[in-house]
Amino acid sequence: MTQVTLPEYSNIATTLKSDSLAVTPAEMQGLLCGMLCGGLDPELGNWMPMLYDYTNEGEGWPHESKTLAATSLGIAHKQLSAGQMDFEPLLPDENTVLLDRGDALSEWVNAFIAGVGLAGVTAGKLSEDAKEVLADLAEIAQLGIDEDDDMEEQAVLLEQVIEHVRVCAMTLHADLGIKSQDDEDKTPTLH
């Protein structure tokens, strides 16, 4: 069985841009992951109209970009549902200019928060852990790279923040996300 992977960040960005979509790969995946972590069932297909409304004024996406979004959703769902630590936000690689990588993280987090909202999560549905995670993410969305500081130190701090974002997403998914069929099969039946 071959593992499905996404193209590189820059290739996805090129496809989205050539399809005249004003969304970055980070925003696309952040939005989709937010919907997943907010309890969206990807099998229902209702993610597409939400994606179109949020990113393209309700207009559908061209085929290649829509396929990238569907693949991204499938990969994220599999990673988040596995309950393992292999989930990764879609960001430019470490060789990218640090400021651009920081901006992409901010875009991802903002879109993630929006995706949670699009999935219909309200404050009343949230556990204390989920409220704390969303508060952390709201603060992270406001962070930026200080060009006047030591860039090596800033790079280390950015990696720590990215790790925290990963954990926040996985925590929220564990709290609100749809469990995979495998997880449901492991649940004992009470008689």
pLDDT of residue 185: 44
Q: pLDDT by residue (tens digit) across 13-51?
A: 999 999 999 999 999 999 999 999 999 999 888 999 999
- Which residue ranges make up each domain of the chain? 9-180
| Residue 61 · residue 88 · CB < 8 Å | no
Residue 75 neighbours by CB distance under 10 Å: 20
Task: For residues 100 and 146, give the distance between their C-alpha atoms in angstroms, rounded to a whole number.
Answer: 12
pLDDT of residue 151: 86
At the topology level of CATH, where does 9-180 sit?
Four Helix Bundle (Hemerythrin (Met), subunit A) (1.20.120)
| Residue 91 · residue 162 · CB < 8 Å | yes
